[in-house]
């Protein structure tokens, strides 16, 4: 067990709380983003927090558990199984077909973000954790880590977001 999962969890909780800034409003004063999307869900927070405990877990193509190593879809499957009790399987593209589309401006913790990293649609997936960041299991540098959504590499390859929750 890594010594810092609790610290990471507390840090994410603070980040998620900081993301609850002013509510965008239409000219008539009504909110433009539904409250349920702005606030996120307890299940989404659980997914994001659990994913953070996997930071520095080694990469392995086809890996489905932290002991053996994880690839991107294996990480998503493992996290959703452990944190939300959802059975998620298949490739990143398979997972994308299962989820409900989410606009990029509506992302909240626990949503999935998909990228075209291998010159084919939906070839990579990560879990959005809030504050314009996501966690994923990349083959490059071989360990689970957090990235910014506006990182040049990922911003150019972003395809869509999906939710498996709610």
**Which residues are known catalytic residues?**
72, 124, 136
Q: Is the dihedral of CA 115, 70, 131, 165 positive or negative?
A: positive
Residue ranges with strand state E in the chain: 64-65, 69-70, 100-102, 112-115, 124-130, 133-136, 145-148, 158-163
> What secondary structure letter does DSSP report for 51?
H
| Cβ pair 115, 158 in contact under 8 A | yes
Q: Nearest 5°: phi and psi at 129?
A: -115, 0
Across 74-94, b (16+ Cβ under 10 Å) vs e yields bbbbbbbbbbbebebeeebee
Q: Which two tokens stand for residue 40?
A: 């996120």
């Amino acid at each position: 067990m890594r010594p810092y999962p609790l610290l990471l969890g507390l840090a994410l909780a603070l980040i998620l709380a900081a993301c609850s800034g002013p509510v965008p409003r239409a000219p008539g004063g009504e909110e433009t983003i539904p409250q349920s999307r702005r606030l996120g869900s307890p299940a989404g927070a659980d997914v994001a927090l659990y994913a953070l405990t996997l930071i520095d877990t080694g990469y392995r193509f086809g890996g489905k558990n932290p002991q053996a190593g994880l690839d991107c879809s294996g990480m998503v499957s493992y996290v959703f199984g452990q944190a939300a009790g959802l059975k998620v399987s298949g490739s990143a593209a398979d997972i994308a077909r299962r989820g409900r589309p989410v606009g990029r401006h509506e992302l909240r913790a626990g949503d999935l973000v998909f990228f075209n990293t291998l010159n084919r649609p939906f070839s990579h997936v990560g879990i959005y954790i809030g504050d314009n960041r996501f966690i994923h299991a990349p083959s490059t540098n071989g360990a689970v880590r957090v990235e910014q959504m506006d990182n040049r590499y990922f911003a150019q390859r972003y395809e869509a977001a999906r939710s498996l929750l709610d």
